Amino acid sequence: MTEFTQNPFASTHSLDTNPFEDPAETSQQYEARMTDLSQRERDLERREQELNQKADHIRKHGRNNWPPFLPLIYHSIPEEIPELSRPLITRLYQLWLVLLGTLIVNMVACIFILLAGSSDGGRDLGASIGYLPIIGALSFLLWYRPIYNAYMKEQALYYYIYFFFGGFHLLFSVYMIIGIPSTGSAGLIQTIQMYAKPAIPAAILGTIATVGWTVQGLGNAYYYRQIWAHHTAQGHSMEKAKTELASHGAKAYFTRG
């Protein structure tokens, strides 16, 4: 009987060689991998460019983001205001936007009042033009920004600044709702006169302006009471405000720290 002896090294070549290997398929995989790497490199370059642009903007302008067309200050209710106070500050900001829109409508209404032949139309138009930049800017700086800072920093000084100038703004709102001729307000009296002429375009614009003055005035009055209650509950006092003013000075108004 003849014995058959198997060579253990006889199948080495057959084990190392894949009979199903396709050189064309390997080339396609290589090209796909290189394409993917190239795409990743482009993405990294794009992200690096974006980061450099952001860094350059921060270096030139800091974190300022408001107003959008000319960033002068940083304004972000979600980032700077405590969560429980965000709805209130958001509403106050919306009321300030209503005020700004009302100032614009009021000015346009005064143009139509002048065109309708009002003897006080010139003075009304001149005053309404002045109100737009002056009241628009001062209302933001003197009552909205202080209460924004008050809730952000919880300091008494800002509350008292808000109470003073916010109270003055409430009186100004009542003054504008009345609409006395030659005062720059297209309020109630002016609107009624335009309906009586009749001067319908001026009357309609006067109505919109009157509603705007009323909405933002009542809204501010409502939140004024809420803020006073909050300030009292927090234990703020005039003495505390004086101490803060002595410690930080007016510089604190312009900082976020």
Cis peptide before 201 (omega within 30 of 0): no
Number of domains observed in the structure of the chain: 1
Question: Does any domain span residue 79?
Answer: no
How far is the CA of 20 from the CAs of 15, 24, 30, 33, in angstroms?
12, 12, 18, 22
According to the model, what pLDDT value does residue 242 have? 87
According to the model, what pLDDT value does residue 13 have? 47
Structure tokens at 42: 């482009």
Question: Does any domain span residue 96?
Answer: yes
pLDDT exceeds 90 at position 19: no
Question: Does any domain span residue 62?
Answer: no
* DSSP secondary structure code for residue 24 in this structure: H
Mean pLDDT along residues 9-25: 49
Question: Does any domain span residue 152?
Answer: yes
CA distance 196 to 203: 9
pLDDT exceeds 70 at position 250: no
Range of the domain at 232: 87-247
Question: Does any domain span residue 16?
Answer: no
According to the model, what pLDDT value does residue 85 have? 95
Confidence of residue 251 (pLDDT cuts 50, 70, 90): low
CA distance 131 to 7: 104
pLDDT exceeds 60 at position 4: no
For 85-139, the pLDDT digits (tens) are 999 999 999 999 999 999 999 999 999 999 999 999 999 999 999 999 999 999 9
Question: Does any domain span residue 132?
Answer: yes
For 129-169, the pLDDT digits (tens) are 999 999 999 999 999 999 999 999 999 999 999 999 999 99
Per DSSP, helices labelled H in 116-155 are 121-139, 145-153
Mean pLDDT along residues 190-216: 96
According to the model, what pLDDT value does residue 241 have? 87
Structure tokens at 154: 């919880």
Structure tokens at 90: 């958001």
CA distance 189 to 178: 6
According to the model, what pLDDT value does residue 3 have? 47
**Cβ–Cβ contacts within 10 Å for residue 99, how many?**
24
Q: What is the mean pLDDT of the chain?
A: 86
What percent of the chain lies above the pLDDT cut of 90? Answer: 63
Question: Does any domain span residue 40?
Answer: no
Give, rounded to a whole angstrom, the gap between the first and last alpha carbons of the chain: 101
pLDDT exceeds 80 at position 249: no
According to the model, what pLDDT value does residue 61 have? 52
pLDDT exceeds 60 at position 9: no
Reduced to 3 states (helix: H, G, I; strand: E, B; else coil), residue 65 is coil
According to the model, what pLDDT value does residue 34 have? 84
For 23-62, the pLDDT digits (tens) are 555 777 778 888 888 887 787 777 667 666 655 655 555 6
250 or 118, higher pLDDT = 118
pLDDT exceeds 60 at position 64: yes
